Amino acid sequence: MNHAKIAELLPWYVNGTLAPAQAEAVEKEIETCELCASDLETLKALQKTMLDVEAHAPGPSQFLLNRTLANVEEIERMRETQKAGSQWWSGLSTGAKAAVLVTSLALFLIAGGTLVRFTSAPSGQRALPPPQLIPVEALKVPAPADRASGGVAAPRSVMEADQVTREKSTTSAVNKPPFERPQIIRTGSMSLLVPDVEKTIARLQEIAQAQFGDVLALDDTTPSQPGERHIATLRLSVPQDRFTQTMDTIAKLGGVQTRSVAAEDVTNQIVDSQARLKNLRHTEEDLLRIMDRQGKVADLLDVQNQISSTRDEIEQLDAQLKSMQHRVAYSALSISLEDEIPAALVGPGAGTQLGEAWQTALRDSKELALRIGAGVLRVVAFAPYWAVPIALFWWLVAWLRRRPAY
């Protein structure tokens, strides 16, 4: 085995995945080749560094991990189902495929004939009337009197009774721990004095990307006068499990003036929202089943209005639930930056002043030339009004001079 081939096997030798014969060849080469031995030491040091980084790196967010794994399982299940169906059909011979198609067509024709026979009324008999929608008032039952002990009155309708049953069933589910750890929304704020605000802003953007986060807002106020400080405010979003690590990293960028962290436990709110969302979806299913029946137009319109109202509540509650889950998964950080030294009190130099004076003189000369040109154009425009009187005046003067004196 030549030197080039053994050099290619060095990474697998460090990982311990080479065959015994290949490993023996690599060891013999290392004993005689200083270059291969040096490359081997470099690879071992690199492996140690990567293992140390992996050991100290924080794991992914539990919420994001569960959602990603669920999506992967769903995609794999769909692929397996499609693959099984395609393999079953492709495994059939041409005759078997034809038999399946003929059998399916025959079953379809038989089912259609049976449906036509049962739906059409025989001669001499009257067809059954179509099913009618049960009015909403018919669903209501008389409400019994309250118990003497002060208990709650019975539900006034079948739908309300079903709703009470669902609430009781979800109450026991709420009491159980739904999450492995509390669902907490964390927010933080920090104020820093830094040597250079512009460089610190770029550094904060790099930190946010390295922590799998992003910059949500940036407000950069550049000094307009000497003696003012450069001020900027950023709002970052980072995964919850990297919140503390990110704040510690940002604190090293300058002098910390203020630092605060706030936490809000929303576990009960999320559980309650999930239970309410489940009940609303069950109610929507019940209303849709009622809509499938036939009945009076007024009853159908009433049920349609209830479905629209329930759908609006479902969409609002689902949006609130997703917002809370996102705020749990990603924490918000507000960072205020300020220059340590204000802008220098330095006036303009002599060269700058002369340049400004020259520019001012050029602007004034251009403005004077424009005014003169505009005046000449005005004189030319009004020539018919003043040229005729002047010509008459000079003609009169010439005539008087030619007239003989008496």
DSSP label of 240:
G
Instruction: State residue 137's pLDDT score.
Output: 43
Strand extents, DSSP E, 322-377: 330-339
* Helix orientation angle between 3-15 and 20-32, rounded to the nearest 10 degrees: 120
Instruction: State residue 39's pLDDT score.
Output: 84
Q: How many residues does the chain have?
A: 406
> Which residues touch 89 (CB under 8 Å, ≥6 apart)?
97
Q: What's the CA gap between 212 and 60, in Å, rounded?
A: 10
pLDDT tens readout for residues 103-159: 777 777 776 666 555 455 444 444 444 444 444 444 443 444 343 344 333 334 444
Are 216 and 281 in contact by the 8 Å Cβ rule? The answer is no
Q: What's the CA gap between 147 and 154, in Å, rounded?
A: 9
What is the token pair recorded at 140?
A: 């209501």
- Residues of the chain with confidence (pLDDT) below 50: 118, 121-159, 161, 164-165, 168-177, 344-346
pLDDT tens readout for residues 95-109: 777 777 777 777 777
* Residue whose token pair is 């049962």: 118
Domain ranges of the chain: 3-56, 158-342
Q: What's the CA gap between 268 and 330, in Å, rounded?
A: 19
Strand extents, DSSP E, 176-289: 184-194, 214-221, 231-239, 255-265
Phi-psi region of 145 (alpha: psi -120 to 50; beta: other; left: phi over 0): beta
SS in 3 state form for 75-143? Answer: HHHHHHHHHHHHHHHHCCCHHHHHHHHHHHHHHHHHHHHHHHHHHCCCCCCCCCCCCECCCHHHHECCC
Q: What's the CA gap between 321 and 329, in Å, rounded?
A: 12
* pTM of this structure: 0.42
Are 183 and 267 in contact by the 8 Å Cβ rule? The answer is yes
* Number of DSSP helices (H) and strands (E) in the chain, helices first: 13, 5
